[in-house]
Copies of this chain bind each other. A is one copy, B any other.
Amino acid sequence: MARATHTTEASGTSRPGPRHHGNRHGRSEEARLAVLHAADGLLVEKGFAGVTMEGIATRAGVAKQTIYRWWSTKTDVLMDAFLQDVAEDLTARDSGDTARDLRVYLRELAWFLSASDPGAVFRALIAQAQHDPVFAQEFRSRYLDEQRRRDRRLLERAVERGELPPDLDLTAETDQLMGPVYYRVLVTDGPVGKEFTDRLVDAFLARHGLTAKS
Contacts and interface: CB of A to CB of B under 8 A. Distances in A.
Nearest to A203: B207
8 contacts: A47-B131, A124-B130, A126-B127, A176-B180, A179-B182, A183-B183, A186-B186, A203-B207
A140 B184 CA distance: 12
A131 B127 contact: yes
Given A196-B172, A203-B207, A48 B182 contact: no
Nearest first, the 6 A-B pairs at minimum CB distance are: A179-B180, A179-B183, A127-B130, A127-B127, A48-B131, A179-B179
Contacts of A1: none
Given A186-B186, A190-B171, A126 B131 contact: no
Contacts of A131: 47-49, 124, 127
A188 interface: yes
Contacts of A74: none
Interface string A171-194: 110011011111110111110000
**Copies of this protein in the complex:** 4
Given A126-B127, A148-B188, A186-B187, 15 more contacts: A48-B130, A123-B130, A124-B131, A127-B129, A140-B189, A172-B196, A175-B188, A175-B190, A179-B180, A179-B181, A179-B183, A182-B182, A183-B183, A203-B203, A206-B207
Contacts of A187: 126, 144, 182, 186
A107 to B, nearest CB: 16
A183 B200 CA distance: 15
Contact of A180 (B129, B130, B175): B175
Contacts of A172: 196, 199
Nearest to A145: B188
Contacts of A104: none
Nearest to A206: B207
A167 interface: no
A126 B130 contact: yes
